[in-house]
């Protein structure tokens, strides 16, 4: 069982969370007319075999979004932090 540490609630089963995709992506600015940038943002994935930084939402807990480090090759779970504290 994948266990995720929520920065607010502590370590829980992953079934309490909802996956939210790659957190290293940057969304194009609102109003951007650059369709290629939007296409890449929505449809193209880095999909690494190894370390991955990703969003999860603690839907069955505090409902906060968090950013988690997880290794997609080994299932090793690293530290997490609140998504709103993500360095910009």
Partner 1 sequence: MKHYSAFSLLRHALNGNESWPRAWRSPEPKPSYDVIIVGGGGHGLATAYYLAANHGVTNVAVIERSYIGSGNVGRNTTIVRSNYMIDGNTQFFEFSLKLWETLSHTLNFNVMLSQRGQIVMAHGPVGLDVLARRGNIMRLNGIDAELLDRGEVMKLLPYLDYSSDARFPIWGALLQRRAGTARHDAVAWGYARAADGLGVDIIENCEVQGFIIEDGKVSGVETSRGRILAGKTGVAVAGHSSHVAKMAGLKLPIESHLLQAFVTEPIKPLVDHVLSFGAELFYISQSDKGGLVFGGHIDGFNSYTQRGQLPKVQTVAECAVALMPCISRLRLLRHWAGIQDMTPDGSPFICRTAVSNLYLNGGWCYQGFKATPASGWCFAHTIAHDEEHELNRCFSLDRFEKGRELDEFGIGNWTYKQ
Closest distance to partner 1 from the beta carbon of 10 (Å):
19
Closest distance to partner 1 from the beta carbon of 65 (Å):
13
Rounded CA-CA distance 34/38 in Å is 7
Query: Is 48 in contact with 72 (CB distance < 8 Å)?
Result: yes
Report the residue number, 2 or 11, with the smaller CB distance to partner 1: 2
Site for partner 1, rule CB under 8 A: 1-2, 13-15, 18-21, 35-36, 39-40, 42-49, 52, 54, 72-75
Report the residue number, 71 or 82, with the smaller CB distance to partner 1: 71
Which CA distances in Å does 38 have to 23, 43, 46, 86? 16, 8, 15, 22
């Amino acid at each position: 069982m994948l266990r995720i540490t929520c920065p607010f609630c502590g370590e829980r089963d992953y079934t309490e969370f909802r996956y939210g995709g790659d957190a290293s992506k940057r969304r194009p600015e609102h109003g951007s007319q650059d369709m290629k940038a939007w296409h890449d943002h929505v449809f193209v994935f880095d999909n690494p075999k190894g370390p991955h930084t990703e969003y999860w939402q603690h839907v069955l807990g505090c409902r906060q979004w968090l950013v988690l480090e997880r290794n997609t090759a080994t299932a090793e779970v690293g530290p997490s932090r609140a998504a709103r504290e993500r360095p910009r």
